[in-house]
Amino acid sequence: MKLKGLQEYTDSAVGEGKEFEEQLRRLVSVPSLSKEENHRADLRRVQETMADIAGGVGFETWISDDEFPILVGKLQTNPNLPWLTIYNHMDVQPAEEKWEIPDPFDPVVRDGKIIGRGSTDDKGPALTTLHAIRFLRSQDLPLPNIQLIYETEEESGSSHFAGYLEKYRDRMEECESVLVSDTIFEGKHPALSYKLRGSLDLVATLEYGDKEIHSGLYGGAVRNPVNVLNRAIAAAEDDQGNVVIPGFHAGIKEMEGRELEEFQRVCSEFDVAAFRKAAARPLTSDDPAEILRRSLHQPTFEIFGYDHIHSGSDRPKSAVPCKVAVKLSVRTVAHQKPDHLREVIDVFLQAKVREYLGHDEFTLTVEGQGPLPFVVDVDNPFIEQARLACREGFGADPLFVACGGTIGALPPLQDRFGAPIVLIAQSLLEDGYHEPNESFRFDQARGGVRTMAHYLSSIAELRLKSA
């Protein structure tokens, strides 16, 4: 199926100096950093900007009055057609690293791409879908009734999102499916993600003694809690970086059947060299299956930061502290239970610290939470249509892939709507999610508009629930 006029539309609207660029500039120029409390006003501002753009496409919009405001937009063209929910997020990661442009929030167009924080994650991909809708409406082509739910806490774990879905239940329409475009191509291949890792952010805090003490007077006669906690954390891995905490891998299922077939397809297409180049460092393996297994289907255990201890380039105080916290990131995989994980990590660290100190006079806590892992059954007609849409829009069959990243909103969306969630990737690995010089390519944007137009048109009347 070819959609008449689509090529002309993307040529005229998406590219350097065109409307898409101007709109993406408006969105990127708002530093909507959800991790930083002093940017809360920007979260509202980015939603207002997006509401203005969506309004231009015909959506009626509403923005909630919350710490992390959500935008709900509705475009009902025919009460007899089913509703589709489109999820994107308007918040972005911090951008404090060294960029090749002067200001990550003042985008620069160069080499066929727009460079700026949030350009590909996730403002650009949200915008392409709106253009697809505008195109379909301009040509009177079929499309379902569409409900936008855009949030502003994705980069901070979407911990309020489930609550917002419940709080604003009456403002939302039941829907037949959910569309998400916050994932990444698998190399040169379009990709449909069916499985994402969760993200359990833990803080392990060790405390003993009730004050700092002089490191000269006491050093050697007492154990430094930083050394002790670090030793316990180090004991959680072996030399190769495999986690050895008993119970850590409980619940993880081996791949089999269709999942294993799709995985082998991905492995056979996987470009190790390109992945290594994008990672900008040596990998733990050169074997595609091993790389993909570790980064997509296995959990991680990483140290991301510290608290209650000297940091920065100054000289540290000459004192032995009484408290230190290590911030751990565990990317969880499907069927791992966060409560269980926190428990086994806690038990492990307690035992190690007790062993090293030789006494019980310490307090060790392991606290934290984070978005759950996600998995969806790929055997449904919406995903089949997405596959065909990728072929039309990006010119190639997609791979069915797991994704190592996390979208905290997916499990709540699954719970709330009970509908298939379809994830259609528009970004490339080289676009640099969460990295300096994040960018979005105009040719990917054009492919995204085409793909989304085909997809939306093809599911205009597709129902599963009420069929």
CB of 464 to a copy of itself, least distance (A): 29
In contact, 430 and 386? CB cutoff 8 Å: no
Closest separation between CB of residue 284 and a copy of itself, Å? 6
* Strand extents, DSSP E, 370-432: 374-375, 399-403, 421-424
Q: Which is nearer to a copy of itself, 23 or 199 (CB)?
A: 199
Q: Which stretch binds a copy of itself (CB under 8 A): 63-71, 102-110, 137-145, 193-201?
A: 193-201
Minimum gap (Å) between residue 127 Cβ and a copy of itself: 21
DSSP calls for 407-424: -TTHHHHHHHH-S-EEEE
Token pair for 429: 């690995």
Contact criterion met (CB below 8 Å) for 349 and 204: yes
Strands 200-207 and 439-441, how do they pair? unpaired
Residue 11 interacting with a copy of itself (CB under 8 A): no
Residue 376 beta carbon to a copy of itself: minimum distance, rounded to whole angstroms: 17
What is the rounded distance in angstroms from the CA atom of residue 401 to the CA atom of residue 290? 15
- Chain positions 213 to 242 lying near a copy of itself, rule: CB under 8 A, are 213-224, 226-228, 230-231, 233-235, 237, 239-241
By CB under 8 A, tell whether 210 contacts a copy of itself: yes
Is 456 within 8 Å of 16 (Cβ atoms)?
Answer: no
CB atoms within 10 A of CB 170: 5
Q: Which stretch binds a copy of itself (CB under 8 A): 20-28, 137-145, 203-211, 338-346?
A: 203-211
| Residue 105 in contact with a copy of itself, rule: CB under 8 A | no
Of 173, 346, 430, 435, the one binding a copy of itself (CB under 8 A) is 435
Residue 408, interface with a copy of itself (CB under 8 A)? no
Residues that bind a copy of itself (rule: CB under 8 A) add up to a total of: 95
Binders of a copy of itself in range 156-175 (CB under 8 A): 156-157
327 binds a copy of itself (CB under 8 A): yes
Positions in 363-392 near a copy of itself (CB under 8 A): none
Alpha carbons 297 and 315: distance in angstroms, whole number: 42
Least distance to a copy of itself, CB of residue 414, Å? 19
Opening angle at CA 426, ends 425 and 427, nearest 5: 100
Q: Name which of 197 and 342 has its Cβ closer to a copy of itself.
A: 197
Nearer to a copy of itself, 257 or 312 (CB): 312
Residues 275-304 that bind a copy of itself (CB under 8 A): 275, 278-285, 291-292, 294-295, 298-304
DSSP lists the bridge partners of residue 177 as 84
Q: Which of 105, 433, 443, 460 binds a copy of itself (CB under 8 A)?
A: 433
Q: Is 402 a binder of a copy of itself (CB under 8 A)?
A: no
Q: Token digits for 264?
A: 């082998």
Task: Find, among 292, 297, 284, 300, the residue nearest to 201 by Cα.
Answer: 300
Burial 271-299 (b: 16+ CB within 10 A, else e): eeeebeeeeeeeeeeeebeebbbbbbbbb
Report if residue 249 touches a copy of itself, rule: CB under 8 A: no
Distance CA 277, CA 21 (A): 28
